[in-house]
Structure 1
Amino acid sequence: MSVDSGEGGVGAAPIEGEVKLPDGWAWATVGEVLVRSDSGKSFKCEPRPASPNEWGIIKVSAMTWGEFRAIENKALLDSSLVNPDYEIRAGDVLVSRANTVDYVGAPVLVEDVRPGLLLSDKSLRFTPGTAINRHWFVHWLRSPVVRKAISAKASGTSDSMRNISQADLRAIKIPLPPTVEQHRIADALGARLAHLDEIDRFIARARTHSAALRKQILLDAIPEPDAWPEEWQARTVDQAGTVALGRARHPDWHTGPKMRPYLRVANVFEDRIDTTSLMEMDFSEGFGKYRLLPGDVLLNEGQSPHLVGRPAMYKGIPEGVAFTNSLLRFRADADVLPGWALLVFRRHLHAGRFMREVRITTNIAHLSSSRLKAVEFPVPPLDEQRRLISETKGRLARADRLKQLLDSAETHTTGLRRALLTEAFAGRLVPQDPQDEPAEDLLKRIRIEREAAEAERREARRAATKARRREKQAAKPPGAASPPAPVSRTPLPEGEQTILSLEFTE
């Protein structure tokens, strides 16, 4: 099950002070229902998964998608650094402390795990009291109100990665029901969410088939070069139009008298240009060279390998826009329709044609203008271009309607999931029983349990310290003198005397 970010509305869970809790419930914090919480440790790893017999470090991706994925791990570089205190065990509730914006704070319950997997410093382990149903607890941590609270508290300088502190997670409020009701809620949620999860899996499979259908439509529109009809002209991109690289960005152009908007790779998607986040630079010189005209096709010059060359057509909105050197511009000749050029480039993208031309630097694939110019480009008669453009648009429109249906179904299941969690944590999903032990009483038992566990840990630390001292003493060579006792520098009160031992030698 995916982690739902939730933004209130139908997904808003009860907030302390705004909603009266059912009888027997009580407000608490995450920290108050825990017996213990631990942060992981930074271990040196190898860039490969651990084999079943090796020590491994669990990655945050192991807890990102609502289930514990033990295969998401890295091999420990040095097994002598293993500390068994960080070993993950069945029943642990793990939370990703550092993750992407959508998944920071994502929780998972470890149902089963092989020995030898360790908690990394990017993860936390929560140990709830015995009175807390762990399935219920994880459902609460996934609820929209908690996701919203984590989003508000998470910090980070990256646009994609965020961090959440253990203190902020422990401070999150919980509407706590009696233990027996927690079990009833967990069972009811588990059954209902399992149905929604199955629908989500069906939607995911349908999306895969939809994407394959769209790819096949584009491949069918334009065959491989050896199957081009005789009336089609076999050209290269350079022979079908002009290719230009956009203007490089420079600090000197961040301000100036002639600021104009420009498109960059973040604006150009397949068959779509997003103009919601345009940037500007000064074009006191050279604007005409980089100005876009309606019908220009833009292709990503630098991208991940499977997206390099991703094309979209500029249709004149907004006006007076330039483009940077993260993009390539293709301007078609008179006998090539811009729509046909876009169709050719989309076909090349899905056929993997551009991937054969890329060069990779610092993990980014680049499609140079010289390599793009040499790529094959078929040119049918204009009437044939119009017919193929129209037919392909019709087929893609039907595929788009399928995608819209899948989007609508996913929105519906997301709303149902939020509504279920809302009802559960407002006390409206299952009936209450006045005979259940009140939550206030179980909080007292958890507090006693936590204090006993803390005392046990202190005693274990003292015992470990004594054992290390004994080992150190036993390791001394026979006859080795003990270190001299430290000399006290504390002055004696006035009027007191001390006896100093004297040694005389003959």
Structure 2
Amino acid sequence: MNSEGSLPDGWAETTVGQVIELNPKNEEADDTRSGFISMSNLGTRFHDVPQFEERPWGDVKKGYTHFKSGDVLLAKITPCFENGKSGIPADLPNGIGAGSTEFFVCRPHAMTIHPQLLLAFFQTERFLRDGEVNMSGSVGHKRVPKDFLIEQRLPLPPLPEQIRIADKLDTLLARVEAGRERLERVPKLVKQFRQAVLSAAVSGELTREWRGGADHKWVTGPIGSFGAAILGRQRSPKYHEGANMRPYLRVQNVFEDFIDINDVMEMVFDDKDFRTYKLEHGDILLNEGQSPHLLGRPAMFRNEVKDACFTNTLIRFRSGPNITPQFALYTFRHYMHSGVFRGEGAITTNIAHLGLGRFTSLQMSVPPLDEQAEIVHRVEALFAIADRLEARYQAALTSFDRLTPALLAKAFRGELVPQDPSDEPASVLLERIQTQRAQEGTGVKKGRKPKATAPTEGDSPKRRGRPPKAEAEGVDASEPKRRGRPPKARADGASVPQASSMEDAIRLLQERGQQRAEGTRQVSLFSEEVTS
């Protein structure tokens, strides 16, 4: 640790604004090909490279943010910021692009900060949490202020260590994301497993061994022959208030094998209607009107709501003496997943209706009661395995969700890769950029360029603004005036050489690391001279 005890040796604390150029502009011909990136193209993971559409520069240069390959894009509007939308465009046509005005475009200063390290910082939990707290604007249109971004404190490692951190993050987070992708296949596999179990249950394959290998001799007939099915009562304004207000279930309450009681409503059911529409334990409720793939979604009522009735958005099936409610439920779940209900439904716009008549006319096969009991026992045992798999999946997913934030936090504590005492300290990088800025302040300001005309003999250039001080005051007019702190003098008298780009710096750092490993002479980071 350094003397402050808060940063590793060689690190320095700075601000984001000190190491980037924010929202730079590109100047290109209108017919130049460029890449266009919308907010939907920006990812949320470290390795997500934004996709782009190729467009002429003249079509996108106005009304959009400008960027180049290697810039870091950061979403600033809710909820995109909170979701961690950020990324580094790569391989843009002619290296230029434009995109959403809801992007912050951060162009890292050459030889100061690695783009991937800056991207990693933007994806840390602390940065996202603090940015969310500091958002301003109306609900639904809150944005991260520019001042928050540029004033955000940033722990800056030495440039060689930045390369090592970026390389390590690239490797580790690639493994995390690959593991997550494999893990995310589990829900689909579990769903397929459940559907296969239901198919085997209602076809007789699940109990073939129990029957001694013989084919089943089940009774086949219309659903209506195995129980009583009715539609619920229609809602009406006249039932919204009065005596005998009772709870009722509707399609929004009935999910697959689950009754949601968080939004149960009430309306009037007089004694006669109450006797007709009152639900009893074991009744099967099915969605009569629903999206086609969810048509007939069934659940068993298990007295979740006392004295509950139901509306005509649901069909109630009450089992007869030859079929158990649980076997009926398994059959209806299979019919939903296999498309039997969807094939019988009548589709209007994007809603399908099963219809009571079509439902009760569907054929189903029903085994003897003892075999139904065996089927229920086996299905419950297999579904218990699926439940355990889902629980393990959720636990593993929670662990994966913690991995990336933990690795990023570790990177910015200096614990991800070892420090190298021979690395040039980050403070030197910051001093160099401050010197560069001070020197750039003496250059020609942006504006209209003067016409390039050759002066005639004896002419002197016209001066604008305040005239220079007289040479009598001891000022050498040939020497340009410098602003800011002068650069530190080097012992050998040589000026500080600079790499032309971050890409050059990365290449030189990699060469230096390879030569160090081979025990050869090192390449200087900031010039082509070879040091022993």
- TM, length-normalised to structure 1: 0.66
Alpha-carbon distance, 1:418 to partner: 3.2
Alignment root-mean-square deviation, CA: 4.7
- Cα deviation 1:231-286 (Å, max 9, x = unaligned): 32221368643242476597995x988876665555544323344xx135443445
Q: 2:190 aligned with 1:190, yes or no?
A: no
Q: How many Å separate the matches in 2 of 1:83 and 1:157?
A: 28
Q: 2:14 aligned with 1:35, yes or no?
A: no
Provide structure 2 residue ranges, at least 5 long, that are not aligned to the other structure: 26-32, 205-214, 451-532
The residue that corresponds to 1:215 in the other structure is 195
- Alignment equivalent of 1:234, drawn from 221, 224, 227: 221
Matched ranges for 1:135-214 at <5 A: 135-150=116-131, 152=133, 164-165=143-144, 167=146, 170=149, 173-180=152-159, 181-214=161-194
Check conservation: 1:146, 1:172, Cα contact below 8 A: no
Check conservation: 2:36, 2:60, Cα contact below 8 A: no
SS of residue in 1 equivalent to 2:229: strand
The residue that corresponds to 1:498 in the other structure is none
Check conservation: 1:101, 1:162, Cα contact below 8 A: no
The residue that corresponds to 2:83 in the other structure is 104
State the AA in 2 paired with 1:83. K
State the AA in 2 paired with 1:208. K
- Cα deviation 1:401-433 (Å, max 9, x = unaligned): 233333333233333333322322233323345
The residue that corresponds to 2:299 in the other structure is 312
Q: 1:433 to 1:94 in 2, by over 3 A?
A: same
Q: 1:430 to 1:283 in 2, by over 3 A?
A: same
Q: 1:280 to 1:402 in 2, by over 3 A?
A: closer
Q: How many Å separate the matches in 2 of 1:207 and 1:66?
A: 24
- Alignment equivalent of 1:82, drawn from 60, 64, 74: 60
The residue that corresponds to 2:263 in the other structure is 279
- Alignment equivalent of 1:334, drawn from 314, 320, 329: 320
Aligned sequence identity (%): 30
Q: How many Å separate the matches in 1 of 2:308 and 2:292?
A: 27
Alpha-carbon distance, 1:324 to partner: 5.9
- Cα deviation 1:389-409 (Å, max 9, x = unaligned): 222222222233233333333
Question: Which is worse superposed, 440-449 or 291-300?
Answer: 440-449
Q: 1:79 to 1:299 in 2, by over 3 A?
A: farther
Q: 1:80 to 1:64 in 2, by over 3 A?
A: same
Check conservation: 2:131, 2:148, Cα contact below 8 A: yes
Q: How many Å separate the matches in 1 of 2:190 and 2:441?
A: 55
Q: How many Å separate the matches in 1 of 2:236 and 2:78?
A: 31
Q: 1:252 to 1:322 in 2, by over 3 A?
A: closer
Matched ranges for 1:349-368 at <5 A: 349-356=336-343, 357=345, 359=347, 361=349, 364-368=350-354
Check conservation: 2:37, 2:50, Cα contact below 8 A: no
Q: How many Å separate the matches in 2 of 1:249 and 1:445?
A: 77
Check conservation: 1:308, 1:366, Cα contact below 8 A: yes
Q: 2:379 aligned with 1:392, yes or no?
A: yes
SS of residue in 2 equivalent to 1:279: coil
Check conservation: 1:34, 1:127, Cα contact below 8 A: yes
Q: 1:463 to 1:430 in 2, by over 3 A?
A: same
Q: How many Å separate the matches in 1 of 2:134 and 2:307?
A: 40
Check conservation: 1:30, 1:169, Cα contact below 8 A: no
Alpha-carbon distance, 1:353 to partner: 2.7
Check conservation: 1:108, 1:138, Cα contact below 8 A: yes
State the AA in 2 paired with 1:82. V
The residue that corresponds to 2:474 in the other structure is none
Q: 1:374 to 1:81 in 2, by over 3 A?
A: farther
Check conservation: 1:63, 1:95, Cα contact below 8 A: no
Q: 1:157 to 1:168 in 2, by over 3 A?
A: same
State the AA in 1 paired with 2:156. P
Check conservation: 1:58, 1:117, Cα contact below 8 A: no
Alpha-carbon distance, 1:351 to partner: 0.9
Q: How many Å separate the matches in 2 of 1:20 and 1:203?
A: 37
Matched ranges for 1:52-67 at <5 A: 58-67=38-47
SS of residue in 1 equivalent to 2:184: helix
- TM, length-normalised to structure 2: 0.63
Check conservation: 2:248, 2:266, Cα contact below 8 A: no
Matched ranges for 1:251-266 at <5 A: 253=240
Q: How many residues align?
A: 421
Check conservation: 1:301, 1:367, Cα contact below 8 A: yes
Check conservation: 1:184, 1:430, Cα contact below 8 A: yes
Q: 1:55 to 1:264 in 2, by over 3 A?
A: farther
State the AA in 2 paired with 1:355. R
- Largest Rg, 1 or 2: 2
- Alignment equivalent of 2:113, drawn from 109, 132, 149: 132
Q: How many Å separate the matches in 2 of 1:444 and 1:251?
A: 79
Check conservation: 1:291, 1:323, Cα contact below 8 A: yes
State the AA in 2 paired with 1:128. P
Q: 1:171 to 1:57 in 2, by over 3 A?
A: closer
State the AA in 1 paired with 2:318. A
Provide structure 1 residue ranges, at least 5 long, that are not aligned to the other structure: 1-18, 40-52, 467-506
Q: How many Å separate the matches in 1 of 2:381 and 2:168?
A: 45
State the AA in 1 paired with 2:297. R
SS of residue in 1 equivalent to 2:74: strand
- Cα deviation 1:37-66 (Å, max 9, x = unaligned): 379xxxxxxxxxxxxx99755352442454
SS of residue in 2 equivalent to 1:125: strand
Alpha-carbon distance, 1:307 to partner: 3.4
State the AA in 1 paired with 2:105. R
Q: 1:99 to 1:246 in 2, by over 3 A?
A: farther
Matched ranges for 1:289-308 at <5 A: 291-301=278-288, 304-308=291-295
SS of residue in 2 equivalent to 1:137: helix
Alpha-carbon distance, 1:347 to partner: 0.7
Q: 2:93 aligned with 1:119, yes or no?
A: no
Alpha-carbon distance, 1:156 to partner: 10
The residue that corresponds to 1:489 in the other structure is none
The residue that corresponds to 2:498 in the other structure is none
The residue that corresponds to 2:388 in the other structure is 401
Check conservation: 1:97, 1:122, Cα contact below 8 A: yes
Check conservation: 1:63, 1:96, Cα contact below 8 A: no
